[in-house]
Amino acid sequence: MKYNTIYEDEHLIAVEKPAGMLTVGDRYDTNTVHLRGLLKQKYGEIFVVHRIDKDTSGLILFAKDAESHRQLSMDFESHEVEKVYLAIVNGIPPSEGEINESLAESVHKPGTMTVVRKGKESFTKYKVIEQFQLFSLLEVEILTGRMHQIRVHMAYIGHPLFIDPIYGQRDHFLLSEIKGRRFRLGKYEEEERPLMSRLSLHAHKLSFTHPVTKERIQLTSPMPKDFKAVINQTKKMQF
C-alpha cells in the first residue's frame, strides 16, 4: 500500500492516503503500517496536522518542522483551512444543505460519535453533484473537524454514506445489485468481487495558507477509481 505525494517543500508535505491505511499508528498494534510511519522513515521528524479515517482516501497534510506545525494547527482550529470531500450517500438528498448539529462521543458505543445538544459545535455544508436511483454523489465541505463528522451528519439527515458499516447500512457494493439477472461472473471468477468495499468518502480538496510564505495553496485529489467504477457502472444500467 503506497501514498502519492501531491505537494512538497522544505516546510510541509501533502499526500494522497489510500483507503485502508491508518494516518497514525495504533497504540495497541505497533506492527501496523501507517502513513506517519512511512513518512517518518523518509523524512525523520514529521508532524501530524490533521487526520482522516483509515477507510477514507485522499488528501492529508503533514508539517516538517515544529513552527509550521504550530501555524497550520492554529489555522485548522480557527477554520481557516478549506476541506472538501467527495461522498457517495444513500438516496437523494435535497440539492444542497447545511447541517449544524453538535457532536460528541457516544456513551453507548465508545469510538463512535453521535449528535448531542451539549457536544462540540460541528458544521457541514453539501451540494449534490449527481443523482442516481440508489445513491447520490456529493461535494461536502466541513467547517469544523470532528471525528466522523460527515458520516454522522449525513446519517442524521437520513442519507448516510452509501458504504459505511457503522453509521450506514452496508460494508460493500456489488455490481449484481444493479445488474440483477443480467449479472454473470467472469469465466475465471468463483465469486463476485465488490465494486467498492470501503467508506464511500474521499478527501478531495484542501486550501490553506502556507505557514511560511503566506501564499494560498490549493490542492486537489481526483475522484478515485472505485468511485468511478460505481458511478460508471450505474450509469450504464440507467440507459
Give the pLDDT band (50/70/90) at residue 204: very high
Residue 1's pLDDT is 76
Q: Which of 9, 26, 29, 53 is catalytic?
A: 53
Say what the pLDDT of residue 219 is. 98
- Sequential DSSP letters for the chain: ---EEEEE-SSEEEEEEPTT-BSS-BTTBTTS-BHHHHHHHHHSS-EE-----TT-EEEEEEESSHHHHHHHHHHHHTT-SEEEEEEEEES---SEEEEE--EEE-SSSTT-EEE-TTSB--EEEEEEEEE-SSEEEEEEEESS--TTHHHHHHHHTT--BSS-TTTSS-S-B-THHHHGGG----TT-SSPPPSB-S-SEEEEEEEEE-TTT--EEEEE-PPPHHHHHHHHHHHHHT-
**pLDDT digits 0-9 by tens, 177-201:** 766 555 565 555 567 788 899 999 9
For residue range 53-86, what is the model confidence (pLDDT) as tens digits? 999 999 999 999 999 999 999 999 999 999 999 9
For the chain, what are the domain ranges?
Answer: 4-180+191-237
What DSSP string runs through 14-79?
Answer: EEEEPTT-BSS-BTTBTTS-BHHHHHHHHHSS-EE-----TT-EEEEEEESSHHHHHHHHHHHHTT
Query: Which pLDDT score, from 0 to 100, does residue 25 have?
Result: 82
53 an active-site residue? Answer: yes
Residue 203's nearest CA partner among 18, 12, 9 is 18
pLDDT > 70 in the chain, percent:
91
pLDDT band (50, 70, 90) for residue 2: confident
- Cα separation, 155 vs 26, in Å, equals 27
pLDDT at 180: 58
CATH 3.30.2350.10 fits 4-180+191-237, yes or no: yes
- Output the pLDDT for position 143: 93
The answer to whether residues 203 and 83 touch, using CB atoms and an 8 Å cutoff, is: yes
**pLDDT confidence of residue 177:** 75
**pLDDT tens digits, one per residue of 113-170:** 999 999 999 999 999 999 998 899 999 999 999 999 999 999 999 999 999 999 999 9
Residue with cell 478527501: 203
98 vs 145: which has the higher pLDDT: 98
Q: What pLDDT does residue 182 have? A: 59
